[in-house]
Amino acid sequence: MAERFIVYGAGAVGGSLGGLLHRAGHEVVLIARGAHLAAIRSNGLRLVTGGGTETLSIPAVSSPAELDGAPGDVVLLAMKSMNTEAALRDLAAVVDRDTPIVCVQNGVANERAALRLFPEVYGVCVMFPATHLEPGVVEPRAWPVPAILDLGRYPADVDETAETLAAEFRSAGCHAEPRPDIMRWKYTKLLMNLGNAVDATIQPGDGVAEILDRVRAEGVEVLAAAGIPHVSMAEDGARRGDILRIGGAGRSGSSSWQSLARGTGAIETDYLNGEIVLLGRLHGVPTPINERIRALANAFAREGRAPGSEPAARFLAGLR
């Protein structure tokens, strides 16, 4: 059993999982920043679920430098992928080399980055609808099961730590299965997350379904050319079933939509659609629609544009 979970990135997913683990009796410390950190320190973390709202008193710090690494620590990385490498360098200066690093993140680049610095790395296929739009507040939007968090040792294995982590995630109310082929699942999740930039930038309505179909078709073609296996959408759908029942009021949007709504000035698209662009370039597969949506999402973040404000027709016209 982990003696302490260090949740690095206490936003929608990290904050929600940290809060749920804390509720289940685990020792948790959150690493957050800015107004979110200040709110947690002043008023606690407000966890809004289908079961009600709780304010949780969880220790929170601004960086690993404020922590003393200890045997039994487990680090849950939950920041956006563009922040992972800097976070890993900060961790390496503080935590023990053999500390398990668990990538509770979208994309497929985080595990490899972690393995450069730490030998004990685990990937998690994150199915966790959650919202973080207000400092100090996180909202898991599925209830009574808030998330499916299947995991495995990177690059491919199940060991005692993976079994233990799955049990601890289950103790927090999540579904979790250890999987020796976790990256096959994460590449399918990557295909699904190609729609995040579409959700973040394109106006709802006619044309959105076409854009989604095209970005994912490019993704499937690229993975085939690269020889990268992934589970079928049918297998993924069977795993999800009707486990995650979404509730809550108001517009939540993808994690990329939330980045724009909060005006963070950054977005994860380079590690989602950009992963397909990179693989396409490496294997000679054109990826014009993923490249265009990647560039558009970055422009939205850089310029502070409102999410969902690009007409689909104008976006599609730029491809012809």
Closest listed residue to residue 288, CA positions, set 231, 227, 221, 206: 221
Which tokens in the block code for residue 229?
């296996």
Cis, peptide link before residue 146, omega less than 30° from 0: no
Place of tokens 């199940």: 158
pLDDT for 59 = 97
Q: Which amino acid is at 37?
A: L
**Residue 97: pLDDT above 80?**
yes
pLDDT for 71 = 85
CA distance 6 to 88: 13
318, 207 in Cβ contact below 8 A?
A: no
Instruction: Write the burial class of residue 38 (CB in 10 Å: 0-12 exposed, 13-18 middle, 19+ buried).
Output: middle
pLDDT for 21 = 98
pLDDT for 41 = 97
Q: Rounded to whole angstroms, what are the CA distances from 36 to 12, 31, 192? A: 11, 10, 28
Place of tokens 């959150």: 30
Which tokens in the block code for residue 260?
């724009």
Place of tokens 């730029």: 318
CA distance 152 to 181: 7
Q: What's the mean pLDDT when you consider all of the chain?
A: 96
Average pLDDT over residues 264-272: 97
Average pLDDT over residues 273-277: 98
Map out the domains of the chain as residue ranges.
Answer: 4-180, 186-317
Q: For a pLDDT cut of 90, what percent of the chain falls above it?
A: 95
Q: What is the pLDDT of residues 143-184, one digit of tens each?
A: 999 999 999 999 999 999 999 999 999 999 999 999 999 999
Q: Give the pLDDT band (50/70/90) at residue 319.
A: confident
**Residue 320: pLDDT above 70?**
no
Closest listed residue to residue 272, CA positions, set 64, 73, 109, 55: 109
Q: What is the pLDDT of residues 7-39, one digit of tens each?
A: 999 999 999 999 999 999 999 999 999 999 999
Q: How many residues can be counted in the chain?
A: 320
31, 10 in Cβ contact below 8 A?
A: yes
Q: Would you list the DSSP string of the chain?
A: --SEEEEE--SHHHHHHHHHHHHTT--EEEE--HHHHHHHHHH-EEEEETTEEEEE---EESSGGGS---TTEEEEE-S-GGGHHHHHHHHHTTS-TT--EEE--SSSSHHHHHHTT-S-EEEEEEE--EE--STTEEEE-B-SS--EEEEEETTTB--HHHHHHHHHHHHTT-B--B-TTHHHHHHHHHHHHTTHHHHHHBPSSTTHHHHHHHHHHHHHHHHHHHT-----HHHHHHHHTT---B--SS----HHHHHHHHT-S--GGGGTHHHHHHHHHHHT---HHHHHHHHHHHHHHHHTPPTT-B-HHHHHHTT-
Q: Give the pLDDT band (50/70/90) at residue 200.
A: very high
pLDDT for 16 = 98
> Which residues make Cβ contacts (< 8 Å) with residue 209, sequence separation at least 6?
none
pLDDT for 68 = 85
Closest listed residue to residue 83, CA positions, set 113, 41, 53: 113
pTM of the model: 0.96
pLDDT for 191 = 98
Q: What is the pLDDT of residues 47-91, one digit of tens each?
A: 999 999 999 999 999 999 999 878 899 999 999 999 999 999 999
**CATH number, domain 4-180:** 3.40.50.720
Q: What is the pLDDT of residues 214-260, one digit of tens each?
A: 999 999 999 999 999 999 999 999 999 999 999 865 556 899 999 99
Q: At what angle do helices 208-226 and 273-283 cross, to 10 degrees?
A: 40
Architecture of domain 186-317: Orthogonal Bundle (1.10)
Closest listed residue to residue 194, CA positions, set 251, 275, 283, 126: 275
